[in-house]
């Protein structure tokens, strides 16, 4: 192949890439397509609730602690907690005060069950949860962003409004 042919080939390839990008065929955002894409251990980074009036609040405080474990065979477990949960003054969880119990219950959530991924949605079949009303229900989490090491879920919040949780893959 001569230099002119190589130059024309490079120009054609560049034109095709530029045309595809202009038509939106390439996207900066990747999305999980299967349960195996999510498989691993994830750390909660943010959990922001946006109320109907647009007001944003950190659902579990400004520095939430939490972990999500997604297994390759379709099981999950998620726990999210406020970083500032009160210690129980009696040092006995069976002798906590009503105020301590309320703060802990409102400042934490956990669930486990099975999950699947399709069409940019994680569907969780909740077997058990610290919020008993979720037991035996299905929860859908929109995958807003996913790049392999960080993902963001969006969903209608039980608190009202919309919630977005950002997770970072633990290594």
The 3-state DSSP class for residue 11 equals helix
d(CA 81, CA 83): 6
In this predicted structure, what is the pLDDT of residue 158? 77
Our CA dihedral for 155, 59, 109, 135, rounded to 10 degrees, sits at: -30
CB-hemisphere CA count at 13 Å for 6?
Answer: 3
Q: Residues 73, 39: contact at Cβ < 8 Å?
A: no
In this predicted structure, what is the pLDDT of residue 73? 93
In this predicted structure, what is the pLDDT of residue 168? 98
d(CA 131, CA 124): 14
In this predicted structure, what is the pLDDT of residue 157? 84
* Main-chain dihedrals φ then ψ at residue 79, nearest 5 degrees: -135, 130
d(CA 107, CA 136): 22
In this predicted structure, what is the pLDDT of residue 35? 78
d(CA 22, CA 25): 8
Mean pLDDT, the chain, integer: 85
In this predicted structure, what is the pLDDT of residue 1? 52
In this predicted structure, what is the pLDDT of residue 15? 35
Residues of the chain with pLDDT under 70: 1-32
């Amino acid at each position: 192949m001569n230099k002119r042919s190589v130059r024309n080939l490079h120009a054609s390839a560049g034109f095709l890439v530029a045309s595809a990008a202009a038509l939106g065929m390439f996207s900066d955002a990747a999305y999980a397509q299967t349960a195996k894409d999510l498989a691993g251990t994830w750390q909660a980074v943010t959990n922001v609730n946006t109320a109907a009036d647009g007001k944003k609040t950190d659902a579990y405080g400004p520095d939430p602690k939490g972990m999500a474990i997604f297994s390759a065979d379709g099981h999950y477990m998620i726990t999210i907690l406020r970083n500032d949960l009160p210690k129980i003054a009696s040092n006995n969880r069976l002798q906590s005060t009503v105020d301590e119990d309320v703060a802990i219950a409102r400042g934490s959530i956990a669930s486990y069950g099975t999950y699947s991924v399709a069409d940019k949605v994680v569907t969780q079949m909740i077997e058990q949860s610290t919020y008993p009303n979720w037991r035996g229900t299905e929860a859908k989490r929109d995958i807003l962003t996913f790049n392999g090491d960080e993902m963001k879920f969006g969903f209608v919040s039980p608190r009202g409004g919309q919630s977005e949780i950002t997770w970072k893959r633990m290594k």
